[in-house]
Amino acid sequence: MERISMIDHLQQISRANLANIQRFAGQFHNTSLKRGTRLGADRESLQSLCYLKKGLLHHYVTASKTSQHVPKNTVTIYQPNDFFINSFNHSQPTEDIEALQDSELFVLNVEKLNEVIGQHPELLFIYQDLIHHHHRQTLAHLRLLQNGTAVQKYRAIAERFGQRLYLIPNQYRASYIGISRKHLYRINLALIKSGHH
- How far apart CA 69 and CA 12 sit, in angstroms, is 41
The string over 173-186, giving b where at least 16 C-beta atoms fall within 10 Å of a residue's C-beta and e elsewhere, is: bbbbbebeeeebee
Mean pLDDT of the chain: 84
In degrees to the nearest 10, what's the CA dihedral of 158, 6, 59, 66? 150
What per-residue confidence (pLDDT) applies to 196?
58
Per-residue pLDDT averaged across 6-18, rounded? 94
- Residue 147: pLDDT over 80: no
Residue 35: CB atoms within 10 Å:
12
What per-residue confidence (pLDDT) applies to 125?
95
Which distant-in-sequence residues (6+ apart) come within 8 Å of 187 by Cβ?
150, 151, 154, 179
What per-residue confidence (pLDDT) applies to 128?
94
Are 97 and 86 a contacting pair, CB within 8 Å?
yes
pLDDT level of residue 6 (50, 70, 90 thresholds): very high
Q: In the chain, what percentage of residues exceed pLDDT 70?
A: 86
- Note the pLDDT tens digit of each residue in 82-129: 998 887 654 555 778 899 999 999 999 888 999 999 999 999 999 999
- Note the pLDDT tens digit of each residue in 53-66: 999 999 888 765 55
What per-residue confidence (pLDDT) applies to 126?
96
Domains and CATH numbers, the chain: 4-147 (2.60.120.10), 148-197 (no CATH)
Q: 73 has which bridge partners?
A: 61
Are 83 and 49 a contacting pair, CB within 8 Å?
yes
